[in-house]
Amino acid sequence: MHIPDGYLSPSTCAVLYGLAATGWYAALKRIKRAFSMRTIPLIAVFASFSFLVMMFNLPLPGGTTGHAVGVTIAAIVLGPWGSILAVSIALAIQALLFGDGGITTFGANAFNMAVVGSFVAYGTYRLISGSSEVISRQRVIAAAIAGYACVNAAALITAVEFGIQPALFHDQQGTPLYAPYPLHIAIPAMMIGHLTIAGLAEGTISAGIVSYLQHADVALLRGPQTPSHFEERATVAFTNPTRYWLVIVSLLLLTPLGILAAGTAWGEWSTEEMSNTYSRDQIAEASKGAPLPASPPAGIRKLSTVWTAPFPDYAPRFIKSQSFGYLMSAMFGVGVLAGLTLISKSIVLRRRPQGRRP
């Protein structure tokens, strides 16, 4: 679901940046009072979790790959506003440092996964869990369904964004300038894998973590019933971040498993793959047999070089081992998040009035 540079027209990117920015502004406005010593680590932990979960690629039908997002548990614990910020931060680090998702399309990716994903996950969870006890089985089931629903909602919107490009943006001969496949190809190609594998993965992860928290730290699941009171949820619930960072480190050490699934995610092909005969056959097979244009679309050729990530594809050039490079990339990404946490805490401390208790 990480749309690369060049797959969406500049006007589409501008609209989606506007929608994502609306979500970011509303999220910051809702939780600005919560941006404290307790809530900064809370957001950082879930940003790190989302970042790492998205590194575990899963094989999907058609020879492509996909992944869970980690947005559901973030929305359950942080509420939708905190989740928007956490997942957006993870997506920003992926795009800037590793080229996973584009810079021009960052607004689209954040809108699809962080904004839409957070609201669908939170709304579904609240609807199904209702007034049930926090430790009830119903909450676990609600988390599973919410995870499945939000990933597929994000995938559907992504597919629509891909699919409208050929109809709206093409040259005089009708050749697509950006994403090459129309809606009747893009929607099934995206949705089959997410309906069968990726959505189930998100649901399973979400249900498992909710079940764990019911026994280990139920306060994280208790919180107020309205997302506007995020600050109360964070202050009451998140009292010991250390053990959750230990969970993040454990997950980080498993990231080399994320490259076991071979294949490129649908709609994330590079210009080199679009030009390679073998890759073109694989792309066509994953796209209901529809062939690509004779050459990569002009917009993809032009915009794919807008940003060159320092460590593209989580593969630092100075590391020969693919698995070790993937692990080092994961460590670097989480390290950046930890560093941002420390900087943010330092800023909060400096701005705190003299004599005020943390």
Q: Which helix (H) or strand (E) holds 64?
A: strand 64-66
Given this model, what pLDDT does residue 182 score? Answer: 97
- Give yes or no for residue 63 having a pLDDT over 60: yes
Whether the CB-CB separation of 114 and 87 falls below 8 Å is answered with yes
* Residue 239 reports pLDDT greater than 80: no
> In angstroms, rounded to a whole number, what is the distance separating the alpha carbons of residues 330 and 122?
27
Q: Name the pLDDT band for 40 (thresholds 50, 70, 90).
A: confident
Cα(301)–Cα(157) distance, rounded to whole angstroms? 24
In the numeric block, which tokens belong to residue 289? 């047999």
Ordered structural domains, the chain, with CATH: 10-351 (1.10.1760.20)
Which pair of tokens denotes residue 255?
């990231």
Share the mean pLDDT of the chain.
89
**pLDDT, mean of residues 47-76:** 94
Q: What is the mean pLDDT of residues 287-314?
A: 94
Q: What is the pLDDT of residue 166?
A: 97
- The pLDDT tens digits for 181-221 are 999 999 999 999 999 999 999 999 999 999 999 998 888 88
Report DSSP state, residue 113.
I
Take residue 301 and report the two structure tokens written for it: 């050729």
Q: How far is CA 332 from CA 43, 65, 243, 256, 341, in A?
A: 18, 23, 20, 14, 14
Q: What is the pLDDT of residues 151-162, one digit of tens each?
A: 999 999 999 999
Q: What are phi and psi of 137, to 5 degrees?
A: -65, -30
pTM of the model: 0.92
**Residues 214, 204: Cα–Cα separation, whole Å:** 15
Which residue(s) pair with 10 in the sheet?
A: none
